[in-house]
Amino acid sequence: MFSINEMPSPSSLFAAFASITASIMFFQSMLYQILPEQVREPLISFVQKLFKSHKPPTLTFVVDAGNEFVGNEVYEAAGVYLDTLRSPETKRLNVRKNPKEKGLTIRLEDGEELIDMYKGIEFQWKFVCSKQENSSSGRRIPSNSSEKRFYELSFHKIHEELSKSYIQFVLDRAKAISEEQRVLKMHTLNNAYNPYDPTNWQSINLDHPATFETLAMDQKKKDDIIDDLDRFVKRKEFYKKVGRAWKRGYLLYGPPGTGKSSLVAAMANHLKFDVYDLQLANIHRDSELRRLLLATGNRSIIVIEDIDCSVNLPDRLHGVEENKSDHHNIHDKKSAGPSLTLSGLLNFIDGIWSSCGDERIIIFTTNNKDKLDPALLRPGRMDKRIYMGYCTFEAFKQLASNYLEISGDHHHLYGEIQCLLKKTNVTPAQVAEEFLKYENADIALKEFVKFLKGEKMEGDECDSKPDENTIVMV
């Protein structure tokens, strides 16, 4: 060991370093002058390989966005999670904001890299944006839709098993972050076909204010629906144990204006589920329906409104009706190819395709339950049927609280209104429309009493008229 007095001085260290550097440069110069090119190049290549052999072996996972049928959950999670790892060294970011978004969406831009430490092991992320080439000309296509975007996750090969634990960690962290920042979406079909997005789903923020607290419905019925929803989302392992897809079907039926759409929005806000508005009238093939449903996300509500009149399902036509079709119509059906059928719809609701997705709620709405095919109504397809009827007194009080800020039963007109509602069929939508006409609560209730009496008189007149199909004995 050297003592402090024996340690070389900084000047002597600098002189030794300069001497070594000069010797290396001299040796390199002599190497290029003495050795011929045929010997020099292989020697340099050997030295480079020698140094490279000492680099640790790495393994790289490529995480792409998925395909048109199923997205890649790891890709989406990586985008969310890596936004939390940005450092001062990050130079390029992709920033987006949809018109109705509350915040910015920030992701890595092409070529940017990030280092993450997990259990003391280094994991390196890199975002890559690769342009597809035109097969005929070999030129790169500038359109954003032709870009292939993916993440590269690199690490030492010996940590391959740990990498699986790390990816699960990323998925869990991204899920927690997304829940904190979650903005519900309303997805609907885009009629304009886009070859780069064949699923044709487009979305906007779901800003519907309906909640179970504001829903005009009897409290007992609301509590029953809430309990059913909460029980459903907690029973993942139960559904798996009994061999059933983790989904639940609801049928909402009743006259127009009774709050079916508001109930759907309240369910979405309660569960924090996105809504997919599936319009069967715009779908022409079973294969198209299957592609659209496979592109829906987990933790979602799929809504098919007015199922009784939205589409004709040809494989359920009765023989008598089929015989009425003329020769030209039959020929047109054959030439059109396979169409949307009831069996195709049922196969996704309750068949093998129903397992392609978790934590989904399927809601059918109809104004006339009796028109529905019995195949739609059996248990396992429509697990819960909810009648959305005319306005009851309990529902009326909720509407009075929402629109007129009247709480409880404390108003002198409530007794008369309660009696009139028992004898008059009015929908919650009609009640709400009447309340919107007035700002003063007392005036609104007085006018509403007049409205109910007028509706009752019209109803009595209709009841007194003989039915056109009734045979009257004289």
Per DSSP, the residues of 257-315 read TSSHHHHHHHHHHHHT-EEEE--GGG---HHHHHHHHHTSPSSEEEEE--TTTS---GG
407 and 380 within one domain: no
287 and 171 within one domain: no
Domain membership of residue 470 (yes or no) is no
Domain membership of residue 42 (yes or no) is no
Which domain, by its residues, includes 105? 58-131+147-181
Q: Where would I find the beta strands (DSSP E) of 8-120?
A: 58-64, 93-96, 105-108, 113-118
Domain membership of residue 85 (yes or no) is yes
What is the per-residue pLDDT for 468?
37
102 and 164 within one domain: yes
- Please tell me the distance from the alpha carbon of residue 397 to that of residue 295, in angstroms, as a whole number: 41
245 and 348 within one domain: yes
288 and 265 within one domain: yes
456 and 355 within one domain: no
What is the per-residue pLDDT for 23?
65
Q: Which residues of the chain have pLDDT under 50?
A: 1-4, 135, 137-145, 195-196, 315-337, 464-474
What is the per-residue pLDDT for 336?
46
Domain membership of residue 468 (yes or no) is no
What is the per-residue pLDDT for 265?
95
Domain count for the chain: 3
Q: Which of 387, 407, 442 is the last residue of a domain?
A: 387
Domain membership of residue 455 (yes or no) is yes
Q: Which residues contact 253 (CB under 8 A, 6 or more apart)?
A: 365, 366, 367, 368, 369, 385, 386, 387, 388
- By DSSP bridging, strand 147-156 and strand 121-131 are antiparallel
Q: Which of 387, 406, 423 is the last residue of a domain?
A: 387
Q: What pTM did the predictor assign?
A: 0.63
Residue 171: both structure tokens together? 């998925």
Provide the CATH number for the domain around residue 243.
3.40.50.300
Domain membership of residue 5 (yes or no) is no
- Please tell me the distance from the alpha carbon of residue 88 to that of residue 359, in angstroms, as a whole number: 40
- Please tell me the distance from the alpha carbon of residue 360 to that of residue 250, in angstroms, as a whole number: 11
pLDDT digits (tens, 9 = 90+) for 84-121: 887 777 777 777 776 656 666 667 777 888 889 999 99
What is the per-residue pLDDT for 289?
85
445 and 410 within one domain: yes
DSSP 392: P
380 and 248 within one domain: yes
352 and 244 within one domain: yes
Residue 464 exposed, middle or buried by CB count within 10 Å (0-12, 13-18, 19+): exposed
Domain membership of residue 325 (yes or no) is no
166 and 94 within one domain: yes
What's CA 287's distance to the chain center, in Å? 21
- Please tell me the distance from the alpha carbon of residue 186 to that of residue 303, in angstroms, as a whole number: 11
Q: Which of 387, 422, 452 is the last residue of a domain?
A: 387
- Please tell me the distance from the alpha carbon of residue 250 to that of residue 367, in angstroms, as a whole number: 14
What is the per-residue pLDDT for 392?
93
Contact between residue 174 and residue 76 where contact means Cβ atoms under 8 Å apart: yes
Domain membership of residue 37 (yes or no) is no
- Please tell me the distance from the alpha carbon of residue 318 to that of residue 466, in angstroms, as a whole number: 33
121 and 174 within one domain: yes
What is the per-residue pLDDT for 192?
55
What is the per-residue pLDDT for 2?
46
261 and 397 within one domain: no
